[in-house]
Chain A
Amino acid sequence: MSGLANQAYLRTRLAIMSENLLGREKLYELSTLSLDELSKRTGFDKFQGADATTRLASFERTQMQTWLDELSALLRPLEGPARRLLTQWASRYELLNIKALVRGKIGQLPNEEIERSLFKLPGFLSLNLDELINTDTVPELLRNLLKTRYKSIATQALRRYEENPDPFLLDATLDQQFYSNLINWAQRLEGHDRTETLNMIGRFVDRHNLVWSLRYRYNYGLQTSEVLYLAIDGGRVLNRARLQQVLQMDTLEEALGKLPSNILRSGQMPREITNIEHAMRTDLSEYAEAAMRRSPSILTSVLAYLLLRRGEIRKVYAIVHARVNGLADSILDEALNPLQDIAA
């Protein structure tokens, strides 16, 4: 990005917005509140509706809208690749809609049920979902997607699905394309913005690659080469050669032994994939917190803020959801912090 005025605007805006972040302690505190108290604190009590599901859906939509409004405010002074990078980041939710549609079609769910599982997105992200929902099969859905700006994703997905109708292959294709586009935009940046955002995105990619590669290899039993092919380019620590060394091991235990020591900034890598995912996520959050406050690239700070804010919004929603559905405290604790027992 260029222009001192824009930098100053974003820095100030970000400094003010960062007050919206709750932090781990406040989130924990929310998880200990009763439903009434929690509803007041989170604003859930303002949502009226015939049943809890409707209220939760409205609450989730509003939370998402808050995040998108903040994204729009931060987007305002940005232009060129920086702007495209953030818009691409937001289109993650549209991609989640496509995944939900594909899964719905594979599972032959009724259209109404698929529709309920979709994110309601603002105009600049919204696909014509009517046409996509009104399809019978995954190929037909993907052929309809060929007419949208997701043409290249749909072409790949269609070919793969026709050769091998595995849902996880489709998921991997969609993720691969999403991160490739993100990296593509980041590579067009200059100076600190380029190095810092690539570093940040590299950490996302590391997390994604590690968790999914381990799942594909040791849970689904895929060949190493196939897993390597499905991995995303642009990782920070785990490039393809390094990942190959890890995945050539026969067991998960041995594979974890081959992981580079600097893949986590601190702490030990857990031994189960779910916990590995959580550890990587926590590590990324810590990195994002530092990047938000100290990165020389304002764009990276913005990206870090949006990541943290989205993460917190999801957690707040999860807490409210759990309380409304009467889940036990222990289940909620476990969901929010699965590493607690290990640490203890």
Chain B
Amino acid sequence: MILAGQDMRHITVKLMREDLPRASLVMAELEAFSPDQRPLLEAELPEIPGEDFRSRIRRAWGNLDRLVGLIGGLPEDDGETPVLVLQREQLIEIDKWLVDAWRECAPCYEELHSIEDDFRELDQLKRSLEEFADLDVDLSWLQGEHEHLDVSIGSIPVENIARLREVLALSNHLILNVAGDGETRRILIVGRREDAEVLDSVLRAAAFKPVNIPATFDQHPNQVRDELEKRRQKLEQRSSELYSMMSNWRNSNHRQLLRARQLLEAAEPYANVRGAARSRGVLAALQGWVPASRLAEVETKLKKSLRLPFVLESREPRSDERHLVPVPVRERGLLKPFSVLVEQYGVPRFGEFDPTILFAVTFVGMFGMMFGDIGHGAIIVLTGLVLRRKLRSFTYLFVAAGASSMLFGWLYGSIFGYEHWIEPLWLAPMSDPIYMLTVALGWGVTFLTVGSGLAISNRLLSGDLAGALFAAGGLFSLIFYMALLGGLVNLVQGGGFPLVATVMIVITLVLLIGYQWLSSDMPYGERIFTTIIETFEIVNGYISSSLSFLRVAAFSLNHVALALAVFTLANTMGATGYWITLVIGNIFIIVLEGLIVAIQTLRLEYYEGFSRYFYGDGTPFRPLRVGRSRNPTIN
């Protein structure tokens, strides 16, 4: 049996606090250590060192990111720069330098944003000019106070217009000439002069941005356009000045920026060990997981790099921590695409049966059975080979699934839907659909029984005896399933429902209900509810899952039926039409039905298989590495 992550060891490095950053860096360089954040050593070593260090690093990265965002990206590391251990003093210096650097550049950043807004306003103004060009009015009149009227023109977020219109109606103002597109609209508001103050306060709340109409708006349109163009040029000039300033700043600080990034990256491993490092006074410890095969290498490298004495202790994972042990992802060669699909569902828990091989075999088998056709299978194989550069490891999946289709096509005697070119090695699905359905059901029962067997063994391996016996997919539910199946088979064959099966069903049901009842600590009402529902789910689960496998036969029949439909359609055409319909029909079958069959196979694997026997809640082994790792949320 293949079990996931068998060779992991838990290690504790007891060392002097001074050496912690160096030890973290060594571990990161080796990429063989995954920190264990549990507070196992809290009693002896209550402190988590480096809190201040971490918050400084975060702030420093924040400032560096903002600077890089403003001045443009920095070149990638050449990989030859030696990795340094960042000292506290250096971090303080880098942090301070970055704070000052950002302070120096922030006004530029703000001004660039303000220029962007000005460009937008200019665009608004230009469009307003074009819209009002045909009106015989003095355009400068569109803004400010008049003898009786107060007029405002400006832009407003589109979603605020309805509300503003409603509120302004209450104070006798009107919104005119709504125009523009995107997220903002240009509006013209007219009201009584004595209500101007009221209007201002509402507009402020409505995020109204007035358009600044130049005094020259009463002039000839061409002059106005010139005026706007001058404004635009001024803005462009200022913008390019700012960019050039930033470029100069970047050139004169390039080396310092690179150094900052290099030092911050070097500090990342220490920052990322977090609670895996603990200390008290000058003593410290670092704990985590290391593959047994790399233990000696880790010890040798630590001996070489640490200045002060240390002790490395290692042990096998305890039974109560099996679900926490990270599982290294193995290079799998031909099995890689299948392991990717398994990981889409979940990572195997430490010591759990790794389902990749079983998944690969059953996936390929079921696909072939549902899509059995020598011609279609060959095209899938060829497609995989032709697109191998794009598909990469998934080429294997295409080839295996296509080959399986070809094999079943041979068994069914089907080539591109023709059922009479070759003699079927087994049988043509349409010749005996009931037999096909029975085979599919038999396959389903085998699949579910193997699945339950694996579930029992996985639970026993993880020390969950109660789960292995009583939970869904456990021993008693399996006995229940077998008894029910045996009884039904006997009944169908005319022998009635045997007493022994009835007794076994009753006993297992009582045991399952009893377990559900005892394992619930909910209030009385909820306990009854969950016990009934959970037991019903176990019983119903086996029946519905078995029936689910009927689709394996149904799709093999469907494949033939689709081919028949294509032939019928083709036969209604002339000679050219016949071949065109045949080609298009076959492409349709390969693409559409092939896709549906692949999805259905995956569904059977995930829902009828994995959900039954696979925990899939393992932690992938993510070793500490040199370089930046982003922390998306604060925990």
Cβ of A130 and Cβ of B631 under 8 Å apart? yes
**Chain B residues whose C-beta falls within 8 Å of the C-beta of A228 in the assembled complex:** 167, 170, 202
**Chain A residues whose C-beta falls within 8 Å of the C-beta of B206 in the assembled complex:** 229
Interface centre among A143, A162, A229 (most CB of B within 10 A): A229
Cβ of A226 and Cβ of B633 under 8 Å apart? no
Min C-beta distance of A58 to chain B, whole Å: 13
Cβ of A139 and Cβ of B59 under 8 Å apart? no
Min C-beta distance of A259 to chain B, whole Å: 18
The stretch from A110-118, A197-205, A273-281, A327-335 touching chain B is: A110-118
Closest 8 CB pairs of A and B: A134-B62, A159-B207, A226-B201, A16-B526, A223-B201, A225-B202, A229-B205, A160-B207
Question: Is B321's CB within 8 Å of the partner chain A?
Answer: no
Min C-beta distance of A172 to chain B, whole Å: 8
A110 nearest in chain B by CB position: B55
Bitwise, A270-297 to B at CB < 8 A (1) or not (0) is 0000000000000000000000000000
Min C-beta distance of A72 to chain B, whole Å: 16
Q: Evaluate whether A230 and B205 lie within 8 angstroms (CB atoms) in the complex, with A156-B160, A240-B166 already known.
A: yes
Cβ of A115 and Cβ of B634 under 8 Å apart? yes
Q: Evaluate whether A155 and B525 lie within 8 angstroms (CB atoms) in the complex, with A134-B62, A225-B202 already known.
A: no
A12 nearest in chain B by CB position: B529
**Chain B residues whose C-beta falls within 8 Å of the C-beta of A152 in the assembled complex:** 159
- Report the contact-size class of chain A (Cβ under 8 Å from the partner): 35 or more
Chain A residues with a Cβ under 8 A of chain B: 12, 15-16, 19, 111-112, 115, 118, 120, 123, 126-131, 133-136, 139, 143, 152, 155-156, 159-160, 162-164, 169, 172, 222-226, 228-230, 233, 240-241, 244
Cβ of A169 and Cβ of B205 under 8 Å apart? yes
Q: Evaluate whether A225 and B633 lie within 8 angstroms (CB atoms) in the complex, with A136-B106, A155-B183, A160-B207 already known.
A: no
Question: Is B523's CB within 8 Å of the partner chain A?
Answer: yes
Question: Is B319's CB within 8 Å of the partner chain A?
Answer: no
Q: Evaluate whether A229 and B164 lie within 8 angstroms (CB atoms) in the complex, with A12-B529, A156-B207, A223-B198 already known.
A: yes
Q: 16 other contacts beyond A123-B633, A228-B202, A240-B167, with CB at 8 A cut-off?
A: A15-B525, A16-B529, A111-B55, A129-B634, A134-B65, A136-B102, A143-B113, A155-B183, A160-B204, A160-B205, A160-B207, A169-B204, A223-B202, A224-B198, A229-B202, A229-B205
Cβ of B207 and Cβ of A163 under 8 Å apart? yes
29 CB < 8 A contacts A-B = A123-B633, A126-B633, A128-B633, A130-B58, A130-B634, A131-B62, A134-B59, A134-B63, A139-B110, A155-B157, A155-B183, A156-B157, A156-B207, A160-B205, A160-B207, A163-B207, A163-B208, A163-B209, A169-B204, A222-B201, A223-B198, A223-B202, A225-B168, A226-B202, A228-B170, A229-B163, A229-B164, A233-B163, A240-B170
Min C-beta distance of A136 to chain B, whole Å: 7
Question: Is B632's CB within 8 Å of the partner chain A?
Answer: yes
**Chain A residues whose C-beta falls within 8 Å of the C-beta of B208 in the assembled complex:** 163
Min C-beta distance of A245 to chain B, whole Å: 10
A180 nearest in chain B by CB position: B159
Name A's interface SS.
helix
Bitwise, B603-635 to A at CB < 8 A (1) or not (0) is 000000000000000000000000000011111
Cβ of A225 and Cβ of B529 under 8 Å apart? no
Question: Is B171's CB within 8 Å of the partner chain A?
Answer: yes
**Chain B residues whose C-beta falls within 8 Å of the C-beta of A12 in the assembled complex:** 529
Name B's interface SS.
helix
**Chain A residues whose C-beta falls within 8 Å of the C-beta of B113 in the assembled complex:** 139, 143
Question: How many angstroms between the C-alpha atoms of A155 and B62 in the bound complex?
Answer: 23
A131 nearest in chain B by CB position: B62
Within 8 A of A (CB), among B48-89: 55, 58-59, 61-63, 65-66
Cβ of A159 and Cβ of B157 under 8 Å apart? yes
Q: Evaluate whether A225 and B526 lie within 8 angstroms (CB atoms) in the complex, with A118-B634, A136-B106, A230-B205 already known.
A: no
Question: Is B138's CB within 8 Å of the partner chain A?
Answer: no
Question: How many angstroms between the C-alpha atoms of A139 and B529 in the bound complex?
Answer: 52
Cβ of A164 and Cβ of B634 under 8 Å apart? no
Bitwise, B525-545 to A at CB < 8 A (1) or not (0) is 110010000000000000000
Bitwise, B91-114 to A at CB < 8 A (1) or not (0) is 000000000001000100010010
**Chain B residues whose C-beta falls within 8 Å of the C-beta of A230 in the assembled complex:** 205
Within 8 A of A (CB), among B189-245: 197-199, 201-202, 204-209
Question: How many angstroms between the C-alpha atoms of A139 and B63 in the bound complex?
Answer: 16
Question: How many angstroms between the C-alpha atoms of A134 and B64 in the bound complex?
Answer: 11
Q: Evaluate whether A164 and B62 lie within 8 angstroms (CB atoms) in the complex, with A120-B634, A128-B633, A130-B631 already known.
A: no
Query: Interface size on B (CB < 8 Å)?
Result: 45
Question: How many angstroms between the C-alpha atoms of A162 and B118 in the bound complex?
Answer: 13
8 Å CB contact of B55 from A19, A112, A128: A112
A248 nearest in chain B by CB position: B170
Within 8 A of A (CB), among B293-317: none
**Chain A residues whose C-beta falls within 8 Å of the C-beta of B106 in the assembled complex:** 136
Question: How many angstroms between the C-alpha atoms of A90 and B159 in the bound complex?
Answer: 24
Cβ of B635 and Cβ of A120 under 8 Å apart? yes
8 Å CB contact of A16 from B63, B209, B525, B634: B525
**Chain B residues whose C-beta falls within 8 Å of the C-beta of A118 in the assembled complex:** 634
8 Å CB contact of A164 from B102, B204, B523: B204
**Chain B residues whose C-beta falls within 8 Å of the C-beta of A139 in the assembled complex:** 110, 113
Min C-beta distance of A153 to chain B, whole Å: 11
Min C-beta distance of B2 to chain A, whole Å: 31
Question: How many angstroms between the C-alpha atoms of A221 and B634 in the bound complex?
Answer: 39
Min C-beta distance of B267 to chain A, whole Å: 16
**Chain A residues whose C-beta falls within 8 Å of the C-beta of B61 in the assembled complex:** 134
**Chain A residues whose C-beta falls within 8 Å of the C-beta of B526 in the assembled complex:** 16
Min C-beta distance of A212 to chain B, whole Å: 13
Cβ of A19 and Cβ of B525 under 8 Å apart? yes
Question: How many angstroms between the C-alpha atoms of A233 and B197 in the bound complex?
Answer: 24
Cβ of A244 and Cβ of B209 under 8 Å apart? no
Question: How many angstroms between the C-alpha atoms of A72 and B120 in the bound complex?
Answer: 44
Min C-beta distance of B633 to chain A, whole Å: 5
A230 nearest in chain B by CB position: B205
Min C-beta distance of B420 to chain A, whole Å: 48
Bitwise, B252-291 to A at CB < 8 A (1) or not (0) is 0000000000000000000000000000000000000000
Cβ of B633 and Cβ of A130 under 8 Å apart? yes
B197 nearest in chain A by CB position: A223
Q: Evaluate whether A225 and B201 lie within 8 angstroms (CB atoms) in the complex, with A111-B59, A126-B633 already known.
A: yes
Question: How many angstroms between the C-alpha atoms of A27 and B308 in the bound complex?
Answer: 58
Min C-beta distance of B58 to chain A, whole Å: 7
Cβ of B59 and Cβ of A225 under 8 Å apart? no
Question: How many angstroms between the C-alpha atoms of A128 and B635 in the bound complex?
Answer: 11
Min C-beta distance of B601 to chain A, whole Å: 26
Min C-beta distance of A206 to chain B, whole Å: 18
**Chain B residues whose C-beta falls within 8 Å of the C-beta of A226 in the assembled complex:** 201-202, 204-205
**Chain B residues whose C-beta falls within 8 Å of the C-beta of A112 in the assembled complex:** 55
Question: How many angstroms between the C-alpha atoms of A163 and B632 in the bound complex?
Answer: 32
Min C-beta distance of B606 to chain A, whole Å: 19
Cβ of A225 and Cβ of B171 under 8 Å apart? yes
A9 nearest in chain B by CB position: B533
**Chain B residues whose C-beta falls within 8 Å of the C-beta of A225 in the assembled complex:** 167-168, 170-171, 198-199, 201-202
**Chain A residues whose C-beta falls within 8 Å of the C-beta of B62 in the assembled complex:** 130-131, 133-135
**Chain B residues whose C-beta falls within 8 Å of the C-beta of A115 in the assembled complex:** 634
**Chain B residues whose C-beta falls within 8 Å of the C-beta of A16 in the assembled complex:** 522-523, 525-526, 529
**Chain A residues whose C-beta falls within 8 Å of the C-beta of B202 in the assembled complex:** 223, 225-226, 228-229
Question: How many angstroms between the C-alpha atoms of A260 and B97 in the bound complex?
Answer: 61
Min C-beta distance of A162 to chain B, whole Å: 8
**Chain B residues whose C-beta falls within 8 Å of the C-beta of A223 in the assembled complex:** 197-198, 201-202
Question: How many angstroms between the C-alpha atoms of A156 and B523 in the bound complex?
Answer: 47
B632 nearest in chain A by CB position: A128
**Chain A residues whose C-beta falls within 8 Å of the C-beta of B201 in the assembled complex:** 222-223, 225-226
Question: How many angstroms between the C-alpha atoms of A76 and B164 in the bound complex?
Answer: 39
**Chain A residues whose C-beta falls within 8 Å of the C-beta of B522 in the assembled complex:** 16
Min C-beta distance of B242 to chain A, whole Å: 17
Cβ of A129 and Cβ of B633 under 8 Å apart? yes
Min C-beta distance of B311 to chain A, whole Å: 28
**Chain A residues whose C-beta falls within 8 Å of the C-beta of B171 in the assembled complex:** 225
